[in-house]
């Protein structure tokens, strides 16, 4: 296992071609791109205070939404991390990581609850939510190499157990829930083909089933907010069609029963060994890997959109033709400051709409921004 | 015979026709029994897994998305096959060895 991990280095090798982006077109909307701009600052609060003072955050996004990694910074961070691992610092790392994720979920739900009754506080709340998203995004970048560092540290410490994979991953849960939706629709005589053919003019109970599913699974989807995901019934109906047309239901059930993984010996409760601490930290990272996009995407759809709707009302009074989607073309500092220059917004929106490679890659059609914001 | 070496992400062997995910819309037409070729396997694609025979992933490491999901579903997977989406075409026969991380075209992988 260790040799395999040593071979990996996908990220480092890719970053070696420093003039080339590590990933192209990952984010297109200026508002979401600007959260990455907060990543360097966020690095100081991810539970690695001793390192953050020496090392810059190794990732940046350019104006095209291309992600660049600094190979030297990735290598330096990868090299420096293990010497920092003690039971105490690992505990700090773990609690900080868990707190960042929990705080984002709480902030999202809170924004959803109070947005409609806010006026001036909407701006502050949106900034706060954005900062929490930026922090989790930073963890998303670190997740490309920190888990491997932790696994190596475990091997070096003499651990011989399999990696502490989650009992049931977020993807596995999603798979089961999607299959349950498929079965429920079939029970109401809506095969995936019929559902796709007739949506949205379907029986009310089927319509309700799909909408409820979308509400519960909002957050699953691509990292880019503007790319359709599970919040969109059309996406879900299409996915049901793709996933369950011409499949053997028994085969699906077998696969949903999930392969047995080797038993993992739990660390003795309360024993503060380095191995136990490493396994605990790594276990949360492995769970986080399956949810990192969910956290940020759900925060946008559940929390940020209601706040943007509140903010847009104020902008419309100042700039009569202002559209809700225009807010997506501000960066977070501009949003927090109440900035709105129609010419700047127009130019950014035009550039976005002309980036056909990005739009095609992410499945963004011309009406997508209005649809995703719930504004006609 | 050309064999591409990656990392073994989920055990088992599978063969089938390649289906390459290049754009968002490609996920809406995944053929049953396909060997899915993609850049990275995100959790939101999990519902497609029960219909595919195997996975070939460009990015990935032992501890990345594809590993967890493929192992849970018992789908043979090779990760870290760089430029897989350029190397393979829709419809060509691929074999995935999830024990070794090797992917081959058309013919059997040597044991």
- Domain layout of chain B by residue ranges: 3-105
B6, B37, B45, B65: the active-site residue: B65
Mean pLDDT (whole number) for A38-56: 61
> For position A293, what pLDDT does the model report?
95
Degrees (nearest 5) of the Cα angle A288, A332, A140? 15
Say if residue A297's pLDDT is above 70: yes
Q: How many CB atoms lie within 10 A of CB A318?
A: 10
Higher-confidence position of A28 and A268: A28
Q: Quickly name the fold that domain B3-105 has.
A: Glucose Oxidase; domain 1 (3.50.30)
Mutate to test the interface with B, among A220, A243, A288 (most CBs of B within 10 A): A243
Residue A181: pLDDT above 70? yes
Q: Does residue A267 lie within any of the structural domains?
A: no
**pLDDT over 90 at A313, yes or no:** no
**Which of A242, A248, A357 has the highest number of chain B CBs within 10 A, making it the mutation to test binding with B?**
A242
A217 with A93, same domain: the answer is: no
Last residue of a domain, one of A225, A256, A287: A256
Structure confidence by residue, pLDDT tens digits, B14-57: 999 999 999 888 999 999 999 999 998 889 999 999 899 999 99
Q: Does the residue A351 lie in any domain? A: yes
- Residues A243-292: pLDDT tens digits? 998 877 777 777 777 544 444 455 555 445 889 999 999 999 999 998 99
Give A13-16's long-range contacts (Cβ < 8 A, gap of 24+): A14/A69, A15/A58, A15/A69, A15/A70, A15/A71, A15/A74, A16/A71
Number of domains observed in the structure of chain A: 2
Q: Which residues of B touch A225 (CB under 8 A)?
A: none
CB-CB under 8 Å, A238 with B28: yes
Report, as an integer, the average pLDDT of B74-103.
Answer: 94
Q: What is the pLDDT of residue A44?
A: 63
Residue the block writes with tokens 């276990």:
A283
- What does the pLDDT read at residue A66? 87
Rounded Cα–Cα distance for residues A280 and A141 (Å):
20
From the list A10, A247, A362, the residue facing B59 with the nearest CB is: A10
Write the CA distances from A121 to A114, A291, A374, integer angstroms. Answer: 10, 29, 22
Higher pLDDT, residue A54 or A242: A242
Cβ-Cβ contacts under 8 Å, B74 against chain A: 255, 258-259
- pLDDT, position B44: 94
- Tell me which chain B residues have a C-beta less than 8 angstroms from the C-beta of A282: 63
| Highest-scoring range by mean pLDDT, A128-137, A207-216, B7-16, B71-80 | A207-216
Q: Which tokens in the block code for residue A69?
A: 């990694």
B44 is annotated as an active-site residue: no
* Domain membership flag for residue A213: yes
pLDDT band at A4 (very low <50, low <70, confident <90, very high): very low
pLDDT band at A161 (very low <50, low <70, confident <90, very high): confident
Both A148 and A288 in one domain: the answer is: yes
Q: Is residue A238 part of a domain?
A: yes
Instruction: Identify the pLDDT of residue A174.
Output: 94
- Residue-level pLDDT at B79: 92
How distant, in Å, are the alpha carbons of A219, A228, B26 from that of A308?
Answer: 18, 19, 31
Residue A301 pLDDT more than 70? yes
Mean pLDDT along residues A218-229: 96
The answer to whether A222 contacts B42, with C-beta atoms less than 8 Å apart, is yes
Residue A40, pLDDT score: 63
- A12 and A99 in a single domain? The answer is yes
Mean pLDDT of A123-150: 90
Q: Which two tokens stand for residue A12?
A: 């480092």
Q: Which of A77-81, A93-97, A104-108, A307-311 is predicted least confidently? A: A77-81
Confidence at residue A43, expressed as pLDDT on a 0 to 100 scale: 61
Does residue A137 belong to any structural domain of this protein?
Answer: yes
A175 and A200 co-located in one domain: yes
From chain B, the residues in CB contact with A174 under 8 A are 43-44, 46-47
The whole-number pLDDT of residue A54 equals 55
pLDDT-derived band at A41 (thresholds 50, 70, 90) equals: low
Q: Is the pLDDT of residue A320 over 50?
A: yes
pTM for the model: 0.88
Looking at residue A68, its pLDDT comes to 85
Mean pLDDT of A121-132: 92
Those residues with Cβ within 8 angstroms of residue A139's Cβ, 6 or more apart along the chain or in another chain: A46, A97, A100, A101, A288, A292
* A72-81, A167-176, A208-217: least confident range: A72-81
Closest CA to A35 of A314, A297, A341, A222: A297
Residue A233 has a pLDDT of 96
Mean pLDDT over residues A19-37, rounded?
Answer: 86
ipTM value for the complex: 0.89
Same domain for A176 and A82: no
| Domain termination site, one of A206, A228, A256 | A256
pLDDT band at A328 (very low <50, low <70, confident <90, very high): very high
Whether A153 and A178 map to the same domain: the answer is no
CA distance A85 to A92: 10
> What is the residue range of A178's domain?
170-256
| pLDDT of A14 over the 80 cut | no
A308 and A366 within one domain: yes
Look at residue A33 and tell me whether its pLDDT is greater than 80: yes
Q: Do A251 and B50 touch (CB under 8 A)?
A: yes
Average pLDDT over chain B reads: 89
A103 lies in a domain? yes
Residue pair A206/A188 in contact by the 8 Å Cβ criterion: yes
Quick check: is A261 in a domain? no
A18 and A153 housed in the same domain = yes
The predicted pLDDT at position A47 comes to 66
Between A18 and A83, where is the model more confident? A83
Neighbours of A227 (CB within 10 A): 23
> How much of chain B is helix, strand and coil, in % rounded to 5?
25, 30, 45
């Amino acid at each position: 296992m260790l040799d395999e991990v040593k071979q990996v280095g996908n990220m480092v090798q890719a970053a070696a071609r420093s003039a080339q982006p590590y990933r192209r077109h990952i984010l297109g909307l200026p508002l979401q791109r600007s959260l990455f701009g907060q990543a360097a600052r966020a690095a100081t609060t991810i539970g690695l205070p001793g390192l953050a003072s020496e090392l810059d955050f190794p990732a940046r996004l350019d104006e095209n939404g291309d992600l660049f990694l600094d190979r030297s910074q990735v290598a330096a961070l990868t090299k420096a991390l293990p010497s920092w691992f003690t039971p105490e610092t690992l505990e700090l790392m773990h609690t900080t990581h868990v707190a960042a994720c929990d705080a984002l979920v709480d902030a999202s739900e809170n924004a959803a609850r109070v947005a409609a009754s806010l006026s001036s506080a909407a701006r502050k709340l949106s900034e706060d939510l954005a900062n929490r998203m930026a922090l989790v995004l930073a963890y998303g970048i670190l997740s490309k190499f920190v888990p491997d560092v932790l696994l190596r540290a475990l091997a070096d410490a003499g651990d011989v157990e399999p990696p502490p994979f989650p009992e049931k991953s977020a993807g596995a849960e999603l798979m089961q829930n999607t299959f349950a939706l498929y079965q429920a629709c079939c029970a109401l005589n809506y095969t995936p083909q019929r559902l796709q053919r007739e949506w949205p003019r379907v029986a009310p109970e089927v319509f309700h089933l799909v909408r409820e599913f979308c509400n519960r699974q909002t957050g699953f989807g691509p990292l880019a907010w503007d790319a359709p995901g599970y919040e969109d019934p059309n996406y879900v109906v299409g996915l049901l069609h793709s996933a369950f047309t011409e499949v053997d239901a028994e085969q699906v059930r077998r696969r949903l029963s999930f392969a047995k993984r080797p038993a993992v010996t739990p660390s003795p409760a309360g024993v503060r060994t380095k191995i136990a601490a490493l396994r605990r930290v790594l276990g949360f990272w492995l769970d986080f890997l399956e949810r990192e996009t969910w956290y940020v995407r759900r925060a946008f759809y559940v929390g940020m959109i209601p706040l943007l709707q509140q903010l847009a009302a104020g902008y419309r009074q100042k700039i009569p033709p202002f559209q809700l989607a225009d807010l997506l073309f501000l960066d977070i500092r501009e949003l927090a400051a109440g900035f709105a220059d129609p010419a700047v917004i127009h130019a950014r929106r035009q550039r976005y709409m002309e980036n056909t490679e990005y739009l095609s890659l992410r499945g963004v059609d011309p009406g997508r921004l209005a649809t995703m914001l719930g504004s006609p | 015979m050309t064999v591409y070496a990656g990392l073994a992400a989920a055990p088992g062997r599978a063969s089938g026709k390649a289906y390459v995910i290049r754009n968002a819309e490609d996920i809406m037409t995944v053929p049953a029994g396909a060997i899915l070729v993609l850049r990275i396997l995100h959790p939101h694609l999990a519902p497609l897994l029960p219909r595919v025979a195997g996975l070939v992933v460009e990015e990935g490491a032992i501890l990345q998305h594809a590993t967890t999901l493929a192992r849970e579903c018992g789908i043979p997977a090779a990760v870290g096959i760089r430029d897989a989406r350029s190397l393979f075409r829709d419809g060509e026969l691929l074999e995935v060895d999830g024990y070794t991380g090797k992917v081959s075209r058309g013919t059997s992988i040597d044991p």
